[in-house]
Amino acid sequence: MDDRGNVVGAGADVIVIGAGVVGGAIAYYLSKMGKSVIILEQDEVASGASGGNNGQISIIDREPGIELEWANESMKMYRGYEDAGEFETDLDITGGLALFYNQEEIEIGREVVKKYSDLGYKCSILVGDEIKKQEPNINTDVVMGAAYCGEEGRLNPFSITIGLVDMAVSRGARLYQNTKVIDFVLEGNLIKEVVTDKGSFLGDTVVVATGAWTRELMSKLGLDYRIFYGRGTLMVTNPIEPCIKGPIVPGCFAIGTLYEGDWNLLGLTQHKNGTITIGQDTRAVTNYNKGVSYDGTIGLAKAFAKHFPNLKDLDVVRVWSAVTPHVEDSLPIYGYSGKYPNIFMAAGLKGALTIAPAAGLMAARIIMGETDDNLVADYSPTRFE
Amino acid sequence: MRILNHPILGELKDMETVTIYCDGMEILAIRGEPIAAALLAAGIRTFRKTVKTGEPRGVYCGIGQCNDCIMEVNGVPNVRTCVTLVEEGMIIKTQEGLGKSGGLHD
Ligand SMILES: Cc1cc2nc3c(=O)[nH]c(=O)nc-3n(C[C@H](O)[C@H](O)[C@H](O)COP(=O)(O)OP(=O)(O)OC[C@H]3O[C@@H](n4cnc5c(N)ncnc54)[C@H](O)[C@@H]3O)c2cc1C
Protein backbone atom coordinates (compact mmCIF):
# COMPACT_ATOMS: atom_id res chain seq x y z
CA MET A 1 0.00 0.00 0.00
CA ASP A 2 1.21 3.53 -0.66
CA ASP A 3 0.82 6.49 1.70
CA ARG A 4 -2.67 7.26 0.39
CA GLY A 5 -3.85 3.77 1.31
CA ASN A 6 -3.89 2.62 -2.30
CA VAL A 7 -2.83 -0.85 -3.27
CA VAL A 8 0.12 -0.93 -5.61
CA GLY A 9 1.04 -4.02 -7.52
CA ALA A 10 -0.72 -6.68 -5.43
CA GLY A 11 -0.67 -9.83 -7.53
CA ALA A 12 -2.20 -13.29 -7.76
CA ASP A 13 -2.58 -16.14 -10.22
CA VAL A 14 -6.19 -15.13 -10.81
CA ILE A 15 -8.08 -11.88 -10.29
CA VAL A 16 -11.81 -12.37 -9.91
CA ILE A 17 -13.89 -9.23 -10.52
CA GLY A 18 -17.28 -9.32 -8.77
CA ALA A 19 -18.21 -10.91 -5.44
CA GLY A 20 -21.64 -12.23 -6.33
CA VAL A 21 -22.56 -15.90 -6.26
CA VAL A 22 -20.80 -16.54 -9.59
CA GLY A 23 -17.52 -14.81 -8.72
CA GLY A 24 -17.74 -16.35 -5.25
CA ALA A 25 -18.09 -19.89 -6.60
CA ILE A 26 -15.21 -19.47 -9.05
CA ALA A 27 -12.96 -17.97 -6.35
CA TYR A 28 -13.93 -20.80 -3.99
CA TYR A 29 -12.90 -23.58 -6.38
CA LEU A 30 -9.76 -21.86 -7.66
CA SER A 31 -8.58 -21.33 -4.07
CA LYS A 32 -9.39 -24.94 -3.27
CA MET A 33 -7.34 -26.08 -6.27
CA GLY A 34 -4.34 -24.14 -5.02
CA LYS A 35 -4.43 -20.96 -7.10
CA SER A 36 -3.73 -17.65 -5.43
CA VAL A 37 -6.80 -15.46 -5.90
CA ILE A 38 -7.67 -11.80 -5.48
CA ILE A 39 -11.37 -10.85 -5.43
CA LEU A 40 -12.25 -7.27 -6.36
CA GLU A 41 -15.71 -5.99 -5.48
CA GLN A 42 -16.86 -2.42 -6.16
CA ASP A 43 -19.31 -2.50 -3.25
CA GLU A 44 -19.67 -5.36 -0.76
CA VAL A 45 -20.05 -9.12 -1.05
CA ALA A 46 -23.59 -9.96 -2.26
CA SER A 47 -24.43 -6.31 -2.93
CA GLY A 48 -25.56 -7.09 -6.50
CA ALA A 49 -28.28 -9.43 -7.74
CA SER A 50 -26.98 -12.21 -5.49
CA GLY A 51 -28.17 -10.30 -2.43
CA GLY A 52 -31.46 -9.08 -3.87
CA ASN A 53 -33.27 -12.07 -5.33
CA ASN A 54 -36.10 -14.46 -4.58
CA GLY A 55 -33.99 -17.47 -3.51
CA GLN A 56 -35.72 -19.90 -5.84
CA ILE A 57 -34.33 -23.06 -7.41
CA SER A 58 -35.81 -23.10 -10.90
CA ILE A 59 -35.68 -26.05 -13.27
CA ILE A 60 -38.33 -25.92 -15.96
CA ASP A 61 -37.19 -22.58 -17.33
CA ARG A 62 -33.83 -24.13 -18.27
CA GLU A 63 -32.98 -25.74 -21.57
CA PRO A 64 -31.98 -29.38 -21.34
CA GLY A 65 -28.22 -29.67 -21.67
CA ILE A 66 -25.35 -28.28 -19.69
CA GLU A 67 -27.51 -25.75 -17.83
CA LEU A 68 -29.75 -28.48 -16.41
CA GLU A 69 -26.73 -30.62 -15.59
CA TRP A 70 -25.26 -27.67 -13.70
CA ALA A 71 -28.53 -27.32 -11.80
CA ASN A 72 -28.59 -30.99 -10.78
CA GLU A 73 -24.93 -31.02 -9.85
CA SER A 74 -25.25 -27.79 -7.86
CA MET A 75 -27.91 -29.26 -5.56
CA LYS A 76 -25.47 -32.00 -4.55
CA MET A 77 -22.73 -29.45 -4.09
CA TYR A 78 -24.94 -27.33 -1.80
CA ARG A 79 -25.51 -30.40 0.37
CA GLY A 80 -21.74 -30.95 0.29
CA TYR A 81 -20.97 -27.50 1.73
CA GLU A 82 -23.38 -28.19 4.58
CA ASP A 83 -22.05 -31.70 5.22
CA ALA A 84 -18.52 -30.33 5.34
CA GLY A 85 -19.65 -27.73 7.88
CA GLU A 86 -18.59 -24.90 5.55
CA PHE A 87 -21.78 -22.84 5.52
CA GLU A 88 -25.54 -23.11 5.74
CA THR A 89 -27.50 -23.03 2.48
CA ASP A 90 -31.07 -23.47 3.78
CA LEU A 91 -31.57 -25.56 0.63
CA ASP A 92 -34.95 -27.23 0.65
CA ILE A 93 -36.33 -29.08 -2.37
CA THR A 94 -40.01 -28.42 -1.84
CA GLY A 95 -41.43 -28.63 -5.34
CA GLY A 96 -42.41 -25.45 -7.13
CA LEU A 97 -45.30 -24.04 -9.15
CA ALA A 98 -45.57 -21.92 -12.28
CA LEU A 99 -49.04 -20.37 -12.28
CA PHE A 100 -51.26 -20.23 -15.37
CA TYR A 101 -54.14 -17.82 -15.81
CA ASN A 102 -55.73 -19.05 -19.05
CA GLN A 103 -56.32 -22.20 -21.06
CA GLU A 104 -53.74 -21.31 -23.68
CA GLU A 105 -50.97 -21.11 -21.08
CA ILE A 106 -52.03 -24.47 -19.66
CA GLU A 107 -51.80 -26.07 -23.10
CA ILE A 108 -48.27 -24.77 -23.69
CA GLY A 109 -47.51 -25.81 -20.12
CA ARG A 110 -48.49 -29.39 -20.94
CA GLU A 111 -45.78 -29.58 -23.59
CA VAL A 112 -43.19 -28.14 -21.23
CA VAL A 113 -44.16 -30.58 -18.50
CA LYS A 114 -43.96 -33.49 -20.94
CA LYS A 115 -40.47 -32.44 -22.02
CA TYR A 116 -39.20 -32.50 -18.42
CA SER A 117 -41.17 -35.61 -17.42
CA ASP A 118 -39.52 -37.44 -20.32
CA LEU A 119 -36.17 -36.41 -18.86
CA GLY A 120 -37.17 -37.95 -15.53
CA TYR A 121 -38.23 -34.85 -13.60
CA LYS A 122 -41.27 -35.08 -11.33
CA CYS A 123 -43.44 -32.71 -13.32
CA SER A 124 -47.16 -32.45 -13.86
CA ILE A 125 -49.93 -30.04 -14.75
CA LEU A 126 -52.28 -29.24 -11.90
CA VAL A 127 -55.71 -27.82 -12.70
CA GLY A 128 -58.14 -26.05 -10.38
CA ASP A 129 -58.22 -27.49 -6.88
CA GLU A 130 -55.36 -29.90 -7.63
CA ILE A 131 -53.09 -26.91 -7.07
CA LYS A 132 -54.06 -27.04 -3.39
CA LYS A 133 -52.23 -30.34 -3.04
CA GLN A 134 -49.02 -28.32 -3.27
CA GLU A 135 -50.30 -25.01 -1.88
CA PRO A 136 -53.32 -25.44 0.39
CA ASN A 137 -53.58 -21.69 1.05
CA ILE A 138 -53.77 -20.60 -2.58
CA ASN A 139 -57.03 -19.15 -3.90
CA THR A 140 -57.90 -21.27 -6.94
CA ASP A 141 -60.53 -18.74 -8.03
CA VAL A 142 -57.76 -16.54 -9.41
CA VAL A 143 -55.48 -19.24 -10.85
CA MET A 144 -56.54 -21.65 -13.57
CA GLY A 145 -53.71 -24.13 -13.44
CA ALA A 146 -50.06 -24.64 -12.66
CA ALA A 147 -46.99 -26.54 -13.76
CA TYR A 148 -45.53 -28.45 -10.84
CA CYS A 149 -41.88 -29.47 -10.71
CA GLY A 150 -40.79 -31.62 -7.79
CA GLU A 151 -37.10 -30.74 -8.16
CA GLU A 152 -37.58 -27.04 -7.49
CA GLY A 153 -37.12 -25.41 -4.11
CA ARG A 154 -35.53 -22.56 -2.22
CA LEU A 155 -32.25 -21.54 -0.69
CA ASN A 156 -30.67 -18.65 1.18
CA PRO A 157 -28.81 -16.48 -1.34
CA PHE A 158 -26.98 -14.37 1.27
CA SER A 159 -25.74 -17.32 3.23
CA ILE A 160 -24.51 -19.01 0.05
CA THR A 161 -22.83 -16.01 -1.57
CA ILE A 162 -21.15 -14.90 1.64
CA GLY A 163 -20.30 -18.52 2.47
CA LEU A 164 -18.55 -19.14 -0.85
CA VAL A 165 -16.50 -15.95 -0.56
CA ASP A 166 -15.65 -16.63 3.10
CA MET A 167 -14.49 -20.14 2.26
CA ALA A 168 -12.32 -18.79 -0.58
CA VAL A 169 -10.82 -16.29 1.87
CA SER A 170 -10.23 -19.02 4.44
CA ARG A 171 -8.16 -20.81 1.77
CA GLY A 172 -6.04 -17.75 1.15
CA ALA A 173 -8.01 -15.65 -1.35
CA ARG A 174 -7.68 -11.91 -0.71
CA LEU A 175 -10.91 -9.93 -0.82
CA TYR A 176 -10.92 -6.20 -1.60
CA GLN A 177 -14.35 -4.65 -1.10
CA ASN A 178 -15.23 -1.08 -2.12
CA THR A 179 -12.66 -1.53 -4.86
CA LYS A 180 -14.03 -0.82 -8.33
CA VAL A 181 -12.33 -1.94 -11.51
CA ILE A 182 -12.19 1.04 -13.82
CA ASP A 183 -9.72 0.04 -16.52
CA PHE A 184 -7.20 -2.47 -17.80
CA VAL A 185 -3.58 -2.14 -18.86
CA LEU A 186 -2.65 -4.34 -21.80
CA GLU A 187 0.58 -5.98 -22.88
CA GLY A 188 -0.06 -7.07 -26.44
CA ASN A 189 -3.55 -8.55 -26.22
CA LEU A 190 -3.10 -9.83 -22.67
CA ILE A 191 -4.41 -8.04 -19.60
CA LYS A 192 -1.37 -7.11 -17.54
CA GLU A 193 -2.91 -4.88 -14.90
CA VAL A 194 -6.43 -4.56 -13.54
CA VAL A 195 -6.82 -0.92 -12.60
CA THR A 196 -9.15 0.01 -9.73
CA ASP A 197 -10.03 3.18 -7.88
CA LYS A 198 -7.74 1.90 -5.11
CA GLY A 199 -4.76 1.03 -7.26
CA SER A 200 -3.60 -1.65 -9.69
CA PHE A 201 -3.58 -5.43 -9.39
CA LEU A 202 -1.55 -7.94 -11.36
CA GLY A 203 -2.80 -11.35 -12.38
CA ASP A 204 -2.13 -14.07 -14.94
CA THR A 205 -5.83 -14.65 -15.53
CA VAL A 206 -8.75 -12.26 -15.04
CA VAL A 207 -12.23 -13.61 -14.32
CA VAL A 208 -15.05 -11.18 -15.09
CA ALA A 209 -18.13 -12.03 -12.99
CA THR A 210 -19.69 -8.59 -12.90
CA GLY A 211 -23.36 -9.39 -13.60
CA ALA A 212 -25.36 -6.37 -14.77
CA TRP A 213 -22.24 -4.19 -14.92
CA THR A 214 -20.47 -6.38 -17.50
CA ARG A 215 -21.23 -4.43 -20.66
CA GLU A 216 -19.95 -1.17 -19.23
CA LEU A 217 -16.78 -2.73 -17.85
CA MET A 218 -15.93 -4.56 -21.06
CA SER A 219 -16.45 -1.41 -23.11
CA LYS A 220 -13.15 -0.22 -21.60
CA LEU A 221 -11.56 -2.85 -23.83
CA GLY A 222 -13.50 -1.75 -26.88
CA LEU A 223 -15.83 -4.76 -26.63
CA ASP A 224 -19.59 -4.62 -26.98
CA TYR A 225 -20.99 -7.72 -25.29
CA ARG A 226 -24.76 -7.80 -25.85
CA ILE A 227 -25.62 -7.99 -22.16
CA PHE A 228 -28.21 -5.61 -20.76
CA TYR A 229 -29.98 -5.32 -17.44
CA GLY A 230 -33.28 -4.69 -15.74
CA ARG A 231 -34.19 -3.75 -12.21
CA GLY A 232 -36.31 -6.15 -10.18
CA THR A 233 -38.22 -4.90 -7.14
CA LEU A 234 -39.03 -7.33 -4.35
CA MET A 235 -40.56 -6.99 -0.90
CA VAL A 236 -40.45 -9.13 2.21
CA THR A 237 -43.01 -9.78 4.94
CA ASN A 238 -42.30 -10.37 8.57
CA PRO A 239 -41.94 -14.05 9.48
CA ILE A 240 -44.91 -16.38 9.87
CA GLU A 241 -45.26 -20.13 10.40
CA PRO A 242 -44.87 -22.21 7.19
CA CYS A 243 -47.82 -21.34 4.89
CA ILE A 244 -46.38 -21.51 1.40
CA LYS A 245 -44.61 -24.72 0.58
CA GLY A 246 -42.47 -23.96 -2.40
CA PRO A 247 -41.40 -21.30 -4.83
CA ILE A 248 -44.08 -19.81 -7.06
CA VAL A 249 -43.37 -18.13 -10.39
CA PRO A 250 -45.53 -16.67 -13.14
CA GLY A 251 -46.36 -19.31 -15.75
CA CYS A 252 -44.68 -17.36 -18.50
CA PHE A 253 -41.33 -18.10 -16.85
CA ALA A 254 -41.89 -21.76 -17.59
CA ILE A 255 -43.47 -21.50 -21.01
CA GLY A 256 -41.02 -18.91 -22.27
CA THR A 257 -43.49 -16.23 -23.27
CA LEU A 258 -41.66 -13.55 -21.30
CA TYR A 259 -38.39 -12.10 -22.48
CA GLU A 260 -37.68 -8.45 -22.07
CA GLY A 261 -39.17 -5.12 -21.19
CA ASP A 262 -41.15 -4.08 -18.16
CA TRP A 263 -43.41 -6.54 -16.34
CA ASN A 264 -45.20 -6.93 -13.05
CA LEU A 265 -46.09 -10.50 -12.18
CA LEU A 266 -46.48 -12.39 -8.95
CA GLY A 267 -43.66 -14.69 -7.88
CA LEU A 268 -42.84 -15.55 -4.29
CA THR A 269 -40.99 -17.73 -1.84
CA GLN A 270 -41.47 -18.45 1.83
CA HIS A 271 -38.04 -18.85 3.37
CA LYS A 272 -36.74 -21.06 6.11
CA ASN A 273 -36.94 -18.21 8.62
CA GLY A 274 -40.64 -17.74 7.86
CA THR A 275 -40.41 -14.53 5.83
CA ILE A 276 -42.05 -14.38 2.41
CA THR A 277 -40.33 -12.54 -0.43
CA ILE A 278 -42.82 -11.27 -2.99
CA GLY A 279 -41.97 -10.08 -6.48
CA GLN A 280 -41.45 -9.20 -9.08
CA ASP A 281 -41.68 -5.86 -10.75
CA THR A 282 -39.09 -5.53 -13.48
CA ARG A 283 -38.26 -2.29 -15.24
CA ALA A 284 -35.69 -1.17 -17.71
CA VAL A 285 -33.45 1.32 -15.92
CA THR A 286 -30.22 3.13 -16.63
CA ASN A 287 -27.31 3.94 -14.33
CA TYR A 288 -27.99 0.85 -12.20
CA ASN A 289 -30.80 2.82 -10.55
CA LYS A 290 -31.61 1.11 -7.27
CA GLY A 291 -34.90 2.85 -6.52
CA VAL A 292 -38.03 0.76 -6.06
CA SER A 293 -41.16 0.80 -8.19
CA TYR A 294 -43.89 2.26 -6.00
CA ASP A 295 -46.87 1.38 -8.23
CA GLY A 296 -45.36 -1.98 -8.98
CA THR A 297 -45.02 -2.80 -5.32
CA ILE A 298 -48.63 -1.89 -4.56
CA GLY A 299 -49.76 -4.01 -7.53
CA LEU A 300 -47.82 -7.01 -6.28
CA ALA A 301 -49.11 -6.65 -2.74
CA LYS A 302 -52.67 -6.67 -4.10
CA ALA A 303 -51.94 -9.68 -6.30
CA PHE A 304 -50.46 -11.48 -3.30
CA ALA A 305 -53.57 -10.75 -1.22
CA LYS A 306 -55.77 -12.11 -4.00
CA HIS A 307 -53.76 -15.30 -4.34
CA PHE A 308 -53.34 -15.85 -0.60
CA PRO A 309 -56.35 -14.22 1.09
CA ASN A 310 -55.42 -15.99 4.35
CA LEU A 311 -52.20 -14.02 4.45
CA LYS A 312 -53.47 -10.64 3.31
CA ASP A 313 -52.88 -8.99 6.70
CA LEU A 314 -49.19 -9.86 6.84
CA ASP A 315 -46.97 -6.78 7.16
CA VAL A 316 -44.43 -6.00 4.47
CA VAL A 317 -41.30 -4.85 6.25
CA ARG A 318 -38.86 -4.02 3.45
CA VAL A 319 -38.91 -3.22 -0.26
CA TRP A 320 -35.72 -3.19 -2.35
CA SER A 321 -34.45 -3.67 -5.86
CA ALA A 322 -31.53 -5.32 -7.62
CA VAL A 323 -30.24 -5.13 -11.15
CA THR A 324 -29.83 -8.38 -13.02
CA PRO A 325 -28.54 -8.96 -16.52
CA HIS A 326 -29.99 -10.61 -19.59
CA VAL A 327 -28.06 -11.48 -22.69
CA GLU A 328 -29.45 -10.68 -26.13
CA ASP A 329 -29.55 -14.35 -27.16
CA SER A 330 -30.46 -15.57 -23.62
CA LEU A 331 -27.27 -17.64 -23.32
CA PRO A 332 -24.59 -16.96 -20.70
CA ILE A 333 -21.36 -15.22 -21.67
CA TYR A 334 -19.07 -17.85 -20.25
CA GLY A 335 -15.58 -18.90 -21.28
CA TYR A 336 -12.34 -17.35 -22.50
CA SER A 337 -12.42 -14.19 -24.56
CA GLY A 338 -10.95 -14.68 -28.01
CA LYS A 339 -9.62 -11.17 -28.29
CA TYR A 340 -8.03 -11.02 -24.83
CA PRO A 341 -7.02 -14.63 -24.15
CA ASN A 342 -6.36 -14.25 -20.41
CA ILE A 343 -9.90 -12.98 -19.69
CA PHE A 344 -12.40 -15.60 -18.58
CA MET A 345 -15.99 -14.31 -18.72
CA ALA A 346 -18.74 -15.57 -16.38
CA ALA A 347 -21.72 -13.26 -16.74
CA GLY A 348 -25.39 -13.44 -17.66
CA LEU A 349 -25.98 -16.89 -16.16
CA LYS A 350 -29.75 -16.91 -15.78
CA GLY A 351 -31.09 -17.70 -12.29
CA ALA A 352 -27.51 -18.16 -11.21
CA LEU A 353 -28.30 -19.29 -7.65
CA THR A 354 -29.48 -22.57 -9.13
CA ILE A 355 -26.32 -23.25 -11.13
CA ALA A 356 -23.44 -21.23 -9.68
CA PRO A 357 -21.62 -24.03 -7.79
CA ALA A 358 -21.32 -26.30 -10.83
CA ALA A 359 -20.71 -23.43 -13.24
CA GLY A 360 -18.03 -22.13 -10.87
CA LEU A 361 -16.37 -25.53 -10.59
CA MET A 362 -16.28 -25.94 -14.36
CA ALA A 363 -14.80 -22.46 -14.79
CA ALA A 364 -12.10 -23.30 -12.24
CA ARG A 365 -11.30 -26.57 -14.03
CA ILE A 366 -11.04 -24.82 -17.39
CA ILE A 367 -8.72 -22.21 -15.87
CA MET A 368 -6.63 -24.97 -14.23
CA GLY A 369 -6.36 -26.66 -17.64
CA GLU A 370 -8.08 -29.76 -16.28
CA THR A 371 -10.87 -29.71 -18.81
CA ASP A 372 -11.57 -28.00 -22.12
CA ASP A 373 -14.52 -25.78 -22.86
CA ASN A 374 -16.19 -27.91 -25.56
CA LEU A 375 -19.29 -28.47 -23.44
CA VAL A 376 -19.90 -24.74 -23.19
CA ALA A 377 -18.86 -23.73 -26.70
CA ASP A 378 -22.30 -22.14 -27.28
CA TYR A 379 -21.68 -19.76 -24.39
CA SER A 380 -18.36 -18.49 -25.71
CA PRO A 381 -17.88 -14.71 -25.48
CA THR A 382 -16.31 -14.84 -28.92
CA ARG A 383 -19.81 -14.70 -30.43
CA PHE A 384 -19.88 -11.02 -29.51
CA GLU A 385 -16.31 -10.20 -30.44
CA MET B 1 -43.00 3.57 34.15
CA ARG B 2 -44.99 6.48 32.82
CA ILE B 3 -44.08 10.15 32.58
CA LEU B 4 -46.90 11.94 34.35
CA ASN B 5 -45.29 15.35 34.39
CA HIS B 6 -43.29 16.11 31.26
CA PRO B 7 -40.96 19.13 31.32
CA ILE B 8 -42.23 20.39 27.98
CA LEU B 9 -45.58 18.70 27.39
CA GLY B 10 -46.67 19.41 30.93
CA GLU B 11 -48.85 17.36 33.20
CA LEU B 12 -50.78 14.35 31.96
CA LYS B 13 -54.38 15.06 32.87
CA ASP B 14 -57.90 14.30 31.71
CA MET B 15 -56.81 10.83 30.71
CA GLU B 16 -59.42 8.35 29.66
CA THR B 17 -58.60 4.74 30.40
CA VAL B 18 -59.35 1.51 28.55
CA THR B 19 -58.91 -2.03 29.79
CA ILE B 20 -56.68 -4.45 27.90
CA TYR B 21 -55.57 -7.98 28.75
CA CYS B 22 -52.03 -9.28 28.38
CA ASP B 23 -51.64 -13.04 28.79
CA GLY B 24 -54.80 -12.87 30.92
CA MET B 25 -53.63 -10.00 33.11
CA GLU B 26 -55.93 -6.99 33.26
CA ILE B 27 -54.16 -3.70 32.49
CA LEU B 28 -55.48 -0.15 32.63
CA ALA B 29 -54.17 1.70 29.59
CA ILE B 30 -54.57 5.30 28.50
CA ARG B 31 -56.69 5.85 25.42
CA GLY B 32 -54.48 6.96 22.53
CA GLU B 33 -51.30 5.24 23.66
CA PRO B 34 -49.58 2.37 21.84
CA ILE B 35 -49.89 -1.12 23.27
CA ALA B 36 -46.16 -1.14 24.00
CA ALA B 37 -46.45 1.97 26.19
CA ALA B 38 -49.24 0.40 28.22
CA LEU B 39 -47.28 -2.81 28.73
CA LEU B 40 -44.11 -0.99 29.76
CA ALA B 41 -46.14 1.09 32.23
CA ALA B 42 -47.45 -2.16 33.67
CA GLY B 43 -43.92 -3.46 34.11
CA ILE B 44 -44.03 -5.95 31.22
CA ARG B 45 -40.71 -6.22 29.40
CA THR B 46 -40.99 -9.46 27.41
CA PHE B 47 -43.28 -9.17 24.40
CA ARG B 48 -42.24 -12.23 22.46
CA LYS B 49 -39.82 -15.19 22.45
CA THR B 50 -37.42 -15.70 19.53
CA VAL B 51 -37.90 -18.52 17.04
CA LYS B 52 -34.67 -20.44 17.43
CA THR B 53 -33.67 -20.07 21.07
CA GLY B 54 -36.80 -18.76 22.77
CA GLU B 55 -34.98 -15.71 24.09
CA PRO B 56 -37.10 -12.80 25.34
CA ARG B 57 -37.57 -9.69 23.19
CA GLY B 58 -39.36 -6.41 23.79
CA VAL B 59 -39.32 -2.82 22.54
CA TYR B 60 -36.21 -2.03 20.52
CA CYS B 61 -36.72 0.78 18.02
CA GLY B 62 -40.12 1.89 19.21
CA ILE B 63 -41.03 3.43 15.85
CA GLY B 64 -42.37 0.52 13.83
CA GLN B 65 -39.21 -0.36 11.95
CA CYS B 66 -37.54 -3.28 13.65
CA ASN B 67 -40.42 -5.68 14.31
CA ASP B 68 -38.91 -6.74 17.62
CA CYS B 69 -42.01 -5.88 19.68
CA ILE B 70 -44.51 -7.96 17.72
CA MET B 71 -47.22 -9.79 19.66
CA GLU B 72 -50.48 -11.57 19.02
CA VAL B 73 -53.32 -9.05 19.31
CA ASN B 74 -56.93 -10.22 19.16
CA GLY B 75 -55.68 -13.40 17.51
CA VAL B 76 -53.65 -11.60 14.84
CA PRO B 77 -49.93 -12.46 14.97
CA ASN B 78 -46.97 -10.18 14.20
CA VAL B 79 -48.66 -6.98 15.38
CA ARG B 80 -46.15 -4.17 15.98
CA THR B 81 -47.21 -3.08 19.43
CA CYS B 82 -45.17 0.13 19.36
CA VAL B 83 -47.31 1.59 16.56
CA THR B 84 -50.67 -0.02 17.35
CA LEU B 85 -52.94 1.91 19.70
CA VAL B 86 -54.80 0.30 22.60
CA GLU B 87 -58.51 -0.41 22.26
CA GLU B 88 -61.04 -1.40 24.89
CA GLY B 89 -60.98 -5.12 25.62
CA MET B 90 -57.92 -5.98 23.52
CA ILE B 91 -56.57 -9.48 24.11
CA ILE B 92 -52.80 -9.46 23.81
CA LYS B 93 -50.55 -12.49 23.99
CA THR B 94 -46.80 -13.01 24.17
CA GLN B 95 -45.79 -14.34 20.75
CA GLU B 96 -43.89 -17.59 21.08
CA GLY B 97 -41.68 -18.10 18.02
CA LEU B 98 -43.21 -17.67 14.58
CA GLY B 99 -46.65 -16.10 14.38
CA LYS B 100 -49.56 -18.45 13.72
CA SER B 101 -51.18 -17.74 10.37
CA GLY B 102 -54.66 -18.71 11.54
CA GLY B 103 -55.46 -15.27 12.94
CA LEU B 104 -54.42 -13.32 9.86
CA HIS B 105 -57.75 -13.35 8.06
CA ASP B 106 -61.14 -12.31 9.33
C1 LIG C 1 -35.52 -9.45 -8.21
C2 LIG C 1 -34.68 -10.63 -8.61
C3 LIG C 1 -35.12 -11.92 -8.33
C4 LIG C 1 -34.35 -13.02 -8.69
N5 LIG C 1 -34.76 -14.25 -8.30
C6 LIG C 1 -33.93 -15.31 -8.50
C7 LIG C 1 -34.25 -16.58 -7.97
O8 LIG C 1 -35.27 -16.74 -7.32
N9 LIG C 1 -33.40 -17.62 -8.20
C10 LIG C 1 -32.23 -17.45 -8.91
O11 LIG C 1 -31.47 -18.41 -9.09
N12 LIG C 1 -31.90 -16.25 -9.41
C13 LIG C 1 -32.71 -15.19 -9.21
N14 LIG C 1 -32.36 -13.96 -9.71
C15 LIG C 1 -31.14 -13.85 -10.51
C16 LIG C 1 -29.89 -13.97 -9.65
O17 LIG C 1 -29.98 -13.06 -8.59
C18 LIG C 1 -28.67 -13.71 -10.50
O19 LIG C 1 -28.66 -14.62 -11.59
C20 LIG C 1 -27.37 -13.91 -9.73
O21 LIG C 1 -27.39 -13.27 -8.49
C22 LIG C 1 -26.22 -13.40 -10.57
O23 LIG C 1 -25.02 -13.53 -9.85
P24 LIG C 1 -23.73 -12.80 -10.35
O25 LIG C 1 -22.64 -13.17 -9.42
O26 LIG C 1 -23.53 -13.07 -11.80
O27 LIG C 1 -24.11 -11.24 -10.29
P28 LIG C 1 -24.13 -10.22 -9.05
O29 LIG C 1 -24.60 -10.84 -7.81
O30 LIG C 1 -24.82 -9.00 -9.52
O31 LIG C 1 -22.59 -9.94 -8.83
C32 LIG C 1 -21.83 -9.08 -9.63
C33 LIG C 1 -20.90 -8.33 -8.70
O34 LIG C 1 -19.92 -7.65 -9.45
C35 LIG C 1 -19.66 -6.42 -8.84
N36 LIG C 1 -19.07 -5.55 -9.84
C37 LIG C 1 -19.65 -5.12 -10.98
N38 LIG C 1 -18.82 -4.31 -11.66
C39 LIG C 1 -17.67 -4.22 -10.94
C40 LIG C 1 -16.43 -3.52 -11.12
N41 LIG C 1 -16.22 -2.75 -12.19
N42 LIG C 1 -15.47 -3.67 -10.17
C43 LIG C 1 -15.68 -4.45 -9.08
N44 LIG C 1 -16.84 -5.12 -8.86
C45 LIG C 1 -17.82 -5.01 -9.78
C46 LIG C 1 -21.03 -5.97 -8.38
O47 LIG C 1 -20.97 -4.99 -7.36
C48 LIG C 1 -21.66 -7.28 -7.90
O49 LIG C 1 -21.46 -7.51 -6.52
C50 LIG C 1 -33.12 -12.83 -9.38
C51 LIG C 1 -32.67 -11.54 -9.66
C52 LIG C 1 -33.43 -10.44 -9.28
C53 LIG C 1 -32.92 -9.06 -9.55
Say yes or no for a CB contact (<8 Å) between B105 and A309: yes
What is the block-wise mean pLDDT of chain A (385 residues), using blocks of 10 residues? 64 97 98 98 98 96 94 98 98 98 95 97 96 96 97 98 98 97 97 95 97 98 96 95 96 78 90 95 89 91 96 92 94 98 97 97 98 94 97
Could you tell me if B53 lies within 8 Å of chain A, comparing CB atoms?
no
3-state secondary structure of A126: strand
* Domain boundaries, position B36: 14-96
CA A358 / ligand 1 centre spacing (Å): 16
User: For the domain A96-150+229-327, what is the CATH superfamily, name and number?
Assistant: D-Amino Acid Oxidase, subunit A, domain 2 (3.30.9.10)
Residue pair A333/A217 in contact (Cβ under 8 Å)? The answer is: no
Q: Is residue B4 part of a domain?
A: no
A23 lines ligand 1 (CB under 6 A): yes
- Where, residue-wise, is CATH 3.30.9.10 in chain A? 96-150+229-327
Residue A325's pLDDT is 94
Q: How many contiguous H segments (helices) and E segments (strands) does chain B have?
A: 1, 10
Residue of A nearest to B65 (CA): A317
Q: Check residue A117 and give left, alpha or beta (phi > 0: left; psi -120 to 50: alpha).
A: alpha
Could you tell me if B61 lies within 8 Å of chain A, comparing CB atoms?
no
Nearest to B101 among A240, A273, A315 (CB): A240
Q: Is residue B87 part of a domain?
A: yes
Say yes or no for a CB contact (<8 Å) between B104 and A239: no
Residue pair B95/A274 in contact (Cβ under 8 Å)? The answer is: no
User: Which amino acid residue places its CA nearest to atom 13 of ligand 1?
Assistant: A351
Q: CATH topology for A10-53+158-226+330-384?
A: FAD/NAD(P)-binding domain (3.50.50)
Q: List, for residues A188-243, the tens digit of each pLDDT value.
A: 999 999 999 999 999 999 999 999 999 999 999 999 999 999 999 999 999 999 99
Count the domains in chain B. Answer: 1
- Where, residue-wise, is CATH 3.50.50.60 in chain A? 10-53+158-226+330-384
Q: Is residue B6 part of a domain?
A: no
Say yes or no for a CB contact (<8 Å) between A241 and B98: yes
Say yes or no for a CB contact (<8 Å) between B98 and A238: no
Q: Which residues of B touch A310 (CB under 8 A)?
A: 101, 104-105
What CATH number should be reported for the domain holding residue B42? 3.10.20.440
Give the orientation angle of helix A356-368 with respect to helix A21-32, to 10 degrees. 50
What is the CA A134 to chain-centroid distance, rounded?
25
ipTM score: 0.82
Residue A4's pLDDT is 58
What is the block-wise mean pLDDT of chain B (106 residues), using blocks of 10 residues? 88 90 97 96 96 95 94 95 98 95 72
Residue pair B99/A241 in contact (Cβ under 8 Å)? The answer is: yes
Q: Is residue B102 part of a domain?
A: no
Helix, strand, coil share of chain B (percent; to 5):
10, 35, 55
Q: Is residue B37 part of a domain?
A: yes
Exposure b/e, B47-67, CB count within 10 A at least 16 = b: bbeebeeeeebbbeebeeeeb
